[in-house]
Each structure stands twice: as structure tokens, then as C-alpha cells.
Amino acid sequence: MKVVLISTYEMGRQPFGLASPAAWLRESGADVTCVDVSRQPLPDAAVRDAGLIAFYVPMHTATRLAIALLPAVREMNPRACVCFYGLYAPMNESYLRRVGVDFILGGEFEESLAAIVKALVSRNGASFSSGAKAPNQLMPSFLSELKLRPPKNPTPEVPPSISLARQKFRIPDRSGLAPLASYARLLMPDGESRTVGYTEASRGCRHLCRHCPIVPVYNGVFRIIDRDVVLEDIRRQVAAGAQHITFGDPDFFNGIGHAIPLVEALHREFPRLTYDVTIKVEHLLKHQDGLPILRDTGCLFVTSAVESVDDAVLEKLAKNHTRADFLRVIELFREIGLTLAPTFVAFTPWTTLEAYRDLLETIRRADLIENVPPIQFAIRLLIPAGSRLLELSDIREIVEPFDEEKLVYPWRHANPRVDALCERLQQVVHSGEKMKLPRARIFDHIEEAAYEAAGRAHTDLERYHTMPILASRATIPYLNEPWYC
């Protein structure tokens, strides 16, 4: 059977979410084509011949892009079954069903994808190559069964929409994907640019942050990927030219007993290879003894979803850390010699103009301007289907009906000047990055806009209005593709 796996966007990373299921499907005998349309053209012939076309949707942007691409794919091959898999698939199940998606998979999706292919081949007795009858012509009862939520005890032929099964992972098969050199690169302070690989050592998360899209799917569960599988995946990427690895785990220290031995083994085998990880503030403090090990095994920076420096907002988001915790983490990283890369949800229904300026002042006082991608100062809270934010009465009072086109519950801030500032800052960041301005210069413009929005003068404006415009250059290690959700 011919299968096409499609990724539309994954933050400038070669998609693990294609390579991992490709290994499972090829092992079962399927003819698999992987395509990342952010880097590759859609292969017309492969799409036309496919019996199953599966879109990987790990985030909001990826899902909207996949839905936009769906009509063109359907026109090219109206006979194929269509699957959406990844975090945002079950969260948007009702809408995806209405636009004609046959299979919805979330959580641990590889085994379920393989089960779908096996069931389709078994029921049809054909490979669905070019000229074969369409699956939905031959098996209407089977497909109508699969369009409904499965029973409590699903059979292998009817995989659950969300599976949290413990899988025996295969080594990802990256055949056919765009080369690593075409993806985001690591920029170093000395001007060096490194080729970046990407892998995952675990999925899901132990925590229940209200705004996080992982929670509606995993609900506090996390699953590890066998160390041998992760190491072999990295070996193959190093052979393909990777000089740095991004670990995409939602929280690398969810299973610190798995993470630390993994990076120690990695460093023994590849002592010059560097990497980066994502760890929440709570775990950076709880497992601070592990931070020197990260440093000594090649970790260049740690991304942490700080989200806010306002304790009231942090409580609303159920982040389980405080402003003081964040400031302590900054001190720890400086003592240890690690680079911290904080991320933020700068605009929420509880953000005030004063609180926003406090965020900027906190970043400046902590000397973290270079550590934060400018887009992080313009991120607005998304409220997707299934979000735990809807548990809050003050959120339920302000959200508008679900917008299926945008896949969010729209909301407006009580102070229109806050929304206007967010829109302006998105333009400021876009313009600054297009001009390749240094992060510090873009930050200056962000500060100027924030003070103007509050009707106040910034005492330091003259300082940077008279500075020459310099080309952007890394002062700390960072990836050159901005982060979006």
C-alpha cells in the first residue's frame, strides 16, 4: 500500500513526526513517501497513487496549514483515505471530521497508523496503487465505523483517537526528507553556523499547565523513547551532517533518570556534538544538580517556558513557579555557565500595560535581551479546543464562539490598547527580523512602542535613535528560525 506522510510546519526542524511512523509503516511493507512541504514541493505522483495520506499536526500553525492544503490534496486524489495525527488532531476532531478527515490520531500514533494501514489492506485486499478502486468505494461500512469515536475497548482495526499505549519505538527512518542543511541552523557568537538535527527522547508531560496543548491529549502522562533508539537516530543524523541536536521533548527533565544517562552516553560517543533541551522552571530548580552535567556534556542552551513574570498570571496558567523562581534560575545559570532561553506568553487577558512594561524591564535588568527571540514579546495567548483555560470563569466570560477557521476561541482584552500594542509589536518584530536587526535593537523598538501605548516617554530613546543600524550577529548560541506555536 502506498502512503504519503505530510508535515506542513515544525519550527524549522526536520520532522521526527514523519520519520518515526515511516519506520513503522515501511517495516510493515508499506510504500511510504515523506514530504515536509515547508521545505519540499508536494510530490504529485505520490499523492495521486496513495491509499492513505496522513498529515502530521503537532501544533496550531501546522494544523491550519494542513487544513488549507487538504482541498488540493483531495482534488489530486479523491479516492485516498485521509488521516490527521499529532497533538492538534483529537483537539479538533469534530471540525476535521466535517471537512472529510477519515482518521484522527493523537498521543502515541505510530502503532495506530500501522494498524490503519493493515486494516485497509486487509479489508480491501489491494495495495491502492494507481487505478485501484478507492477505499471509500469498497468499504463504506468500515470507514463510517472509523468516523465515529471508537468503543471503550477498541480493536486493532479501530484505533482510539488518543492512544497513550507504551510503544516499542523503531529507529526513525528519515529517507526522502529534505537534508538537514536546509533547516534552521545554530548561530554561534564566533560567527560559526552549525547544521542542526532534531530528535525526541520522550513525549507527553507530567504537568497540567492550563494553556498547554499537550495536556488535553496526555493529561499528565509522559512516555520515554528507548535510549538505544534515540542514540541511533542521532548517529544517523550526525552521519548526515548534524553538528548540533535539538531535543524536542516538552520537558527533558520529566524523566531525569532517562535524560541524564542519555546525554552522558551521547557525549562519550560524540564529544564535540552540542545540543539544546527544553526544561520547565520548576524542574530546573528541583533538579539543579543535573545542570552541570548538561553543561559538561555539550548542552549550549536550555529553553524554558517562563510565560510571565506576574505571579497572578502564572497562577492562572498553573505554571507551578513564581517570578522569584525565575530570577533564581537566572542566577543558577550564570553560576553554572549555561545559557537560558526563556519563552513567554506576553499577552493574556490579565496583561496590563504596566505589567507588560514590567516584563521588559525585568528582562533588561536581568541582562537577558539577547537570550529572548523578539517574537516572544509579541506572543498572544491561544485558547484552542479542549484547553484547560476554559475551566476559569473569567476566561469563559470573555471568549467568543469557537472559530473553526482559526481553530481557537477568540478573545478580546478589556483594554483595547493592550490588543493594539500586541498587533503593533508583531509588526515591529516582523520588520526588525526582515531587516536583520540585532535582537537588542528590536527590543529597543519594542520598549518604545510599550511606553507610547501607556502614554509615557522612555528616557533612553535618544540613546538608540542615534545609534547606527548594525547587522544582526549572535551574542549567544541560538537557532535562526523564530519560534511560533
Q: Which three cell numbers stand for residue 76?
A: 489530486
Q: How far apart are CA 17 and CA 169, in angstroms?
A: 12
C-alpha angle 394-395-401 in degrees, rounded to nearest 5: 130
103-107 and 2-7 as β-strands: parallel, antiparallel, unpaired? unpaired
pLDDT at residue number 161: 86
pLDDT at residue number 147: 39
16 — phi, psi (to 5°)?
-60, -35
Radius of gyration of the chain (CA): 23
Q: Who contacts 301 (Cβ-Cβ below 8 Å, separation ≥6)?
A: 276, 338, 339, 340, 341, 476, 477, 478
- If the chain, 485 residues long, is cut into consecutive pieces of 10 residues, what is the mean pLDDT of each piece? 96 95 97 97 96 97 97 96 96 93 95 92 58 38 40 41 92 97 95 97 96 94 97 98 97 97 98 98 98 98 98 98 98 97 98 98 98 96 96 97 96 98 97 94 97 79 49 76 65
Kindly report the number of other CB atoms within 10 A of residue 3's CB atom.
28
- Spatial contact of 83 and 55, defined as CB atoms under 8 Å apart: yes
CA-CA-CA-CA torsion sign (219, 224, 229, 232): positive
Q: Which three cell numbers stand for residue 107?
A: 498521543
Q: Which three cell numbers stand for residue 156?
A: 486493532
Q: Amino acid letter at 65?
A: L
Q: Amino acid letter at 476?
A: I
